[in-house]
Amino acid sequence: MLESLIAEQKDLDLIPKLVAGLLAHKKAGRWESTQENTFVLLALDKYFQTYEKVTPNFVARVWLGDGYAGEHAFKGYSTDSHRIDIPMKTVAAAGKRDLTIQKDGAGRLYYRVGMTYAPADLKLQPADYGFVVQRTYEAVDRPEEVVRGADGAWKIKAGARVRVRLTMINDNRRYHVALVDPLPAASRP
């Protein structure tokens, strides 16, 4: 499939994503069988010969609005990745601005733009999207070891055995829904 897309639609944005997917599905440095290894490597060779024939020799720079955020130089082939972090307070202070990524030089630049944040107030108001999810904690041994305070926060004594009860109510038929409830910090199964 990858080779066909390269041959027929060379500028398709999906092609680098397919390559990333192929590389992500290696297990212990290889794919599932000799045949799979062969076909994947042939497709990756076609990709490399098409898109990576120019040796990287460039500088990538990033701006948020008019503010310079940083740069990295890329010389030769490498699997190293580089980060430019912009603090959330800078993003918030900038308001609605463009994020500009500029490449100066020869070669292909691969990049990912992501955002990690936490709300200022960790006590969020409930949202209604057709599901109701409730979680309660109960002491297994002594009730005084697990108490819910007036503010809704749970107080759990260190070492207490706790039963978690999850209730999920749905107002409609849904498909492919998964409810994942991670353990709170400092807990263990």
Q: What is the pLDDT of residues 153-174, one digit of tens each?
A: 899 999 999 999 999 999 888 8
**Per-residue pLDDT band at 117 (split at 50, 70, 90):** confident
pLDDT in tens, 46-99: 999 999 899 999 999 999 999 999 999 999 998 888 999 999 999 989 999 999
The structure tokens listed for 185 are: 């910090």
Q: Can you give the pLDDT at residue 101?
A: 97
- Give the count of beta carbons closer than 10 Å to the beta carbon of residue 145: 18
**Per-residue pLDDT band at 18 (split at 50, 70, 90):** very high
- Mean pLDDT, rounded, for 110-121: 87
What is the rounded CA–CA span in Å between residue 65 and residue 126? 34
Q: Can you give the pLDDT at residue 161?
A: 94
Query: Alpha carbon of 49 to those of 54, 74, 101: distances in Å?
Result: 9, 19, 25
pLDDT in tens, 120-132: 888 888 888 888 8
**Per-residue pLDDT band at 142 (split at 50, 70, 90):** very high
The pTM of this model reads 0.58
Average pLDDT, the chain: 91
Q: Can you give the pLDDT at residue 73?
A: 96
Task: Show the CA angle centred on residue 173, arms to residues 169 and 177, nearest 5°.
Answer: 70
Q: Where are the domains of the chain?
A: 2-51, 57-106, 122-189
Q: Can you give the pLDDT at residue 66?
A: 93
Structural contact between residues 55 and 107, judged by C-beta atoms closer than 8 angstroms: yes
